[in-house]
Amino acid sequence: MFNISKTICGVAVASVLMVGQALAGPYDDYADTTLVVNFPAHPHYDAVRKILPEFTKETGIEVEVDQLPYLKMRERQTLELGQDEGDYDLIAYVVFSKADYVYADQLENLARYFMNPKLSDPAYDADDLIDGYVYNIGFAGGNKGYLQGKTGSLFGIPYGSETSILGYRKDIFEKHGLEVPQTYDQMLDIACKIPELEPGMGGLSSRAASGHHASHAFLLHLAPLGGRVFDDSWNPIVNNAEGVQAANALKTIVDCGPEGASSFGFGEALGSFLAGDTAMFLDTTVVAGQIDDPAKSKVVGKVGWALHPEGTRRGSQTGGFGIGIPKNAENKEAAFLLMQWLTSKKGDKLVALAGGNPSRFSTHEDADVNAKFPHMATFGEALKHADPDWRPIIPVWGKINADLGTTLSKVLTEDLDVQEALDGVAERATAIMEEAGYYTWNK
């Protein structure tokens, strides 16, 4: 009897062990794999690097990070993704690279992975990801090829989502009894008042340097003021009244901005706000961490946050990065596991607490995150107004973007006429679009 029970016990233990083996954790097969990932030099991904040791501890998968400035990162990826076998297992891509990579068939369609019961985490809760960003960054093949639509599918997951937000100096606004601007008119008005009220201080610091920066700053104003780059049949309309208004807004901001504003890149624009040389800052949400860092900032605790002011509509930026798996990667499944871990509820919260930009609704509402970063609620609100059609994400955008940026920079520094400048951009854009075949169906 005693013996039998002992035997039963033994069998039970053995069977538990066997079941245990059959139910090996999802990560066991990939322990000791080393993933090579390509990330941008960006505050969100700095935060990601802080939480990666946690992933390695939990899964046994090592991660080697190659971090580059994002334009360099894009160049590197162009080269790596074009080869038969690439170095990178997981890449973070800038939102506008989506078009190039998907069109060139260089990113894995994620359906296969989410269907795989061994890889896909049932608790992942994809509905909690912020819709606008999933469509903007991860989705391809829908309406216009880059928007949400019935024909689209998922190639990446937003990670490091940004939107535009207005930061303002609470102390300065209080001192002069200024209202936090709700509309564009109010904002431009205050931006030009500041230099009079506070001699030596600029109104709003914006990026404006030639190329990508100037173009980005212009787009920031284009959507809220009701403009678009293309109409529905791909004809450039940057040079319409709204476009001109947006360019004029940019010019006003730069003219009333801090010293040297016309050559500011993002870093200089932020630097000027951090040094206390400007009263307002209208750009991406990633800056919050640095503004609260006493080693870098002289305005700790003096900054309030508000939604991107309204023009004819709300339309804040959709931007930032997504992560995807290259077609030529070596360890695709392990890469998917990392991707899933990073964008899971747990990973999203961890990265938010480390100073990153969460991509989930739940994280924006999370009590711990809000306790640590009180601005998170405003940021979550801003994300709801993010405009998925903020810029056209098509393969030729890079070229049009570069031209737009250089031309606008001439408007800012060489007093080129706004209308004339934008007409030129539209004309060259038409030629580029024509060559790329966007007008084939008009004939």
In the chain the first and final C-alpha atoms are separated, in Å, by 91
Candidates 60, 142, 226, 398: give the one binding other proteins (CB under 8 A). Answer: 398
Q: Which SS3 state, helix, strand or coil, does residue 94 take?
A: strand
Q: Given the rule CB under 8 A, which of 164-172, 205-213, 364-372, 386-394 is the region that contacts other proteins?
A: 205-213
211 binds other proteins (CB under 8 A): yes
Q: Which residues pair with 284 in a beta bridge?
A: 164
User: What CA–CA distance (Å, rounded) separates 60 from 63?
Assistant: 10
210 binds other proteins (CB under 8 A): yes
How many angstroms separate the Cα of 352 from the Cα of each of 43, 263, 315, 364, 391? Answer: 11, 32, 24, 9, 26
Candidates 266, 305, 321, 390: give the one binding other proteins (CB under 8 A). Answer: 266
372 binds other proteins (CB under 8 A): no
432 binds other proteins (CB under 8 A): no
Considering the complex, state which of residue 75 and residue 231 has its C-beta at the smaller distance from other proteins.
Answer: 75
Q: Given the rule CB under 8 A, which of 24-32, 109-117, 164-172, 261-269 is the region that contacts other proteins?
A: 261-269
Residue 60, judged by CB atoms within 10 A of its CB (0-12, 13-18, 19+), counts as middle
How many angstroms separate the Cα of 285 from the Cα of each of 142, 275, 323? Answer: 27, 18, 19
Candidates 79, 111, 126, 371: give the one binding other proteins (CB under 8 A). Answer: 79
Candidates 261, 288, 303, 350: give the one binding other proteins (CB under 8 A). Answer: 261
In sequence order, which ranges of 82-118 are alpha helices (DSSP H)?
Answer: 97-103, 111-115
50 binds other proteins (CB under 8 A): yes
Candidates 119, 180, 237, 275: give the one binding other proteins (CB under 8 A). Answer: 275
User: What CA–CA distance (Å, rounded) separates 137 from 334?
Assistant: 22
239 binds other proteins (CB under 8 A): no
Candidates 54, 62, 66, 255: give the one binding other proteins (CB under 8 A). Answer: 66
271 binds other proteins (CB under 8 A): yes
Give the chain's count of helices (H) and strands (E): 19, 11
Amino acid identity for residue 90 in this structure: L
Candidates 248, 399, 436, 438: give the one binding other proteins (CB under 8 A). Answer: 399
**Angle ∠(376,381,383) on CA atoms, nearest 5:** 95
Contact residues toward other proteins (CB under 8 A) are 41-43, 46, 49-50, 66-69, 71-72, 75, 78-79, 81-87, 104, 208-211, 213, 258-263, 265-268, 270-272, 274-275, 277, 286, 290, 294-296, 298, 330, 398-399, 402-403, 406-407, 409-410, 412-414
